[in-house]
Amino acid sequence: MAEQQNEAHRTPMNESPVPPPVPDTNLPAGGGVPEQVFPLVVPVAQTPASAAMRTSGRRGRVPGWLVSFSLHLFVLVGLAAVAIDPPPMPVPVIMLEQEPEEPEPELVIEPEELAVSEEEFEDIGALSEAGASIAEAVSPALAELSVVPLRADTMLETKVRVEPVSFEAMGPNQVEQLIEMVAGVNVGVAATGAAGAVDRLSLDIARSLEDGPTCVCWVFDQSVSLAGQRQEIAARLDRVFRELQVDEQGGLPTGLTNMVLAYGQRFKFITDRPTALSADVIAAIRGIEVDNSGLEQTFTAIQAAAERLNSNPGAGRRNSMVIVFTDEVGDDQLMADRVAARCRRLDTPVYVVGVPAPFGRRFIEMKYVEFDPSYASAEEWAVVEQGPETLFPESVRIGSTAVADEAIDSGFGPFSLSKLCYQTGGIYIAVHANRDATGRVNDRMTAAMSSRIRYFFDPEAMRDYQPDYVSATKLKQKLNANRAKQALVEAATATNLSPMESPETVFPRKSEGELANLLTLAQRTAAVLQPRIDAIHRVLLSGLKDRDAIEEKRWRAGYDLGIGRVLALKVRTDAYNLMLAQAKAGMQFQNPKSDTWVLRPSSEVRVGSQTERLAEQARSILQRVVHEHPGTPWAFIAEKELQAPLGYRWDEIHTGINDPPPPRPAANNNNNPPMPRDDQRRMLGPPKPKRNLKRI
């Protein structure tokens, strides 16, 4: 009983017993190993009275302050255990499948000049039909080349066979770079006739035969203007083939076969299959008929020839060449880039025997002499398309009296055909019968079926002035990179400046009022032209800061000549206007008999300091063109500009406008004899038809 009472004293009614600490188990919803959380054990709040009663009731036990100290110490140790990391322990490595982290955006720096191909992706690069297989085949070869050292003596003594370049395994940028490095080194070659061109081509055929069997497709324009030349070419080829014959049947050297294709509005293979007999080739060329449609699908025919040459893969490896004879650009120039890409993939170079492009012009007159007896005999000038030599205009056209508006040689062929030869590794041969003429070629000297080109230039001097045979996209990038080039193209494209149309230079003075009216009317001519000249001048001036950055001789010559000529035209127009204004202000004749003022050209410019300063600038720029680009069209035109005076001067003369009229002569009363009457009726046949020169 006493022990029960003592136990009641130890556990008061207002204090519940403290249960032992139990680990708190938090089970996750999905099961698994529970996470154990150790709660902090905190004593129940108690009053001083209850504490005293509990202490007094514990006989022989630990004092309360020691219990409190122990509890607090336990709490502190527990907190420390939670905050301090346990020492590292070796744990097994577990590979977990995680989502890949999103890569950081790559910084792409575009190059200053980005070569962009205009071809379809199915044709070249890794997406082509043979792209992957070619890449696999090339990689072992590259690995072998990287470990085999090359010695100079070995390279000199050993003949190395160079395999054709495969464009299919390259990207667009690589194709552009390779074309610029190795293709079309001799794209511009000059000749005076088709016979010389055939001799030049025979050398390339012989080189190709040294490398392997070769098939040549001879492609002929069926136009009227080339009819006579086709017979000349056939005769020359007949002679060349006879020299190459290896048997009496007319067999050609081993490995040489030929095909013949003719085209006009449509194309046709005159020889269906390659032949090794020269007689078949000559007969096919001589039998080509004239196409009177006036249409020339040049690039369509070239592509057909290249595909036919490579249409029999079972024949084994052989070289192929396309040789074209034409005297115009063609009506399907939009296919030029596509055809060039196709010929590159087929490893088929294109050679063109054509005409020289006139400098900075698209059209030119050709001396047409009728050769067909069924048409009326005639010698006329027909307009044909034989240019220009560049993709974008690079020459500011100024038809001034200083430089007669005559066609001169550009030194290169039409752009589309020349670029095709350049990009496929072929040659463009520009043929003109008057190429070797010295000085100006007049109409009488111009050969039949030849263009009206007045002056020619040495091909060697023009070699450093080759146009940019690149894609339109890349050429635009080059223009955007240099303001001087861009300004030249803008000025050349925007206008075709002409000088004042027959400016008035004779001013009779019947009275002061009539003279003032004549001077005012003459000033209007200059007033109309002056704003156009000033606008072109401002465009060219905007590129002056980039002029020294131009590296190509062609662009430098073009820009200097353009701004020099525009300045010269501006000075002449301003000087004319100011001289008229000077006359309106009042001038007195020095000779009492004088009655008329005449404005004459003068080398001196005396109409104000600003115009005189512009005249000196024009002379300085034009002289620089002559000095830096001798023997070129730019120097030729600059010399002509320098020879023409920039200023004017007033002269006075006597014309008798104020003199009394002379007496009238007596009337003639004699009757003129009548014309003899032709009573005999002439029996003449119907006149022969005249050929339409728009379809030659």
Using DSSP's 3-state secondary structure scheme, residue 496 falls into strand
Q: What was the pLDDT predicted at 496?
A: 64
**Concatenated DSSP letters for 427-460?**
-EEEE-TTTT--S---TTTSPTT-B-------HH
* 695 closest CA partner among 333, 270, 227, 359: 227
Residue 236 in this model has a pLDDT that exceeds 80: yes
Q: What was the pLDDT predicted at 446?
A: 94
pLDDT tens-digit readout, 447-488: 999 999 999 999 899 999 999 999 899 999 999 999 999 999
Q: What is the mean pLDDT of residues 668-674?
A: 60
CB 220, CB 260: distance < 8 Å: yes
Instruction: Compare 648 and 92 and report the one with higher pLDDT.
Output: 648
pLDDT tens-digit readout, 175-231: 444 444 334 445 567 777 777 788 888 889 988 988 899 999 999 999 988 888 888
Q: What was the pLDDT predicted at 35?
A: 41
- CA gap 171, 169 in Å, rounded: 7
Residue 143 in this model has a pLDDT that exceeds 70: no
Residue 579 in this model has a pLDDT that exceeds 70: yes
Using DSSP's 3-state secondary structure scheme, residue 256 falls into strand
Instruction: Compare 114 and 583 and report the one with higher pLDDT.
Output: 583
Instruction: Compare 675 and 91 and report the one with higher pLDDT.
Output: 675
Highest mean pLDDT, choosing among 39-48, 88-97, 511-520: 511-520
Q: What is the mean pLDDT of residues 261-285?
A: 93
Q: What was the pLDDT predicted at 462?
A: 94
Residue 589 in this model has a pLDDT that exceeds 80: yes
Residue 118 in this model has a pLDDT that exceeds 70: no
In which residue are the tokens 């708190």 written? 24
CB 276, CB 214: distance < 8 Å: no
The CA radius of gyration of the chain, in Å to the nearest whole number, is: 47
Residues of the chain with pLDDT > 90: what percent?
44
- CA gap 567, 578 in Å, rounded: 16
Phi, psi angles (nearest 5°) of residue 350: -115, 125
Mean of the per-residue pLDDT values for the chain?
76
Residues of the chain with pLDDT > 70: what percent?
66
> Could you tell me which residues come within 8 angstroms of residue 542 by beta carbon, excluding any fewer than 6 positions away?
483, 487
Q: What is the mean pLDDT of residues 559-574?
A: 94
Instruction: Compare 55 and 254 and report the one with higher pLDDT.
Output: 254
Q: What is the mean pLDDT of residues 615-632?
A: 97
pLDDT tens-digit readout, 237-252: 888 887 776 666 667 7
pLDDT tens-digit readout, 320-367: 999 999 999 999 999 999 999 999 999 999 999 999 999 999 999 999
pLDDT interval class at 434 (50, 70, 90): very high
- CA gap 306, 298 in Å, rounded: 13
pLDDT tens-digit readout, 611-622: 999 999 999 999
Residue 426 in this model has a pLDDT that exceeds 80: yes
Which of 67-71, 120-124, 273-277, 346-350 has the weakest average pLDDT? 120-124
Residue 558 in this model has a pLDDT that exceeds 70: yes
In which residue are the tokens 């880039």 written? 337
Tokens at 184, concatenated: 């079309």
Q: What was the pLDDT predicted at 239?
A: 83
pLDDT tens-digit readout, 46-85: 444 444 444 444 444 556 666 666 666 666 656 555 444 4
Which of 16-25, 127-136, 596-605 has the weakest average pLDDT? 127-136
- CA gap 502, 110 in Å, rounded: 53
For the chain, the 3-state helix, strand and coil shares in percent, each to the nearest 5, are 40, 10, 45
514 Rama class: left (phi>0) / alpha (psi -120 to 50) / beta: alpha
Partners of 351 in beta bridges? 323
Which of 79-93, 257-271, 278-292 has the weakest average pLDDT? 79-93
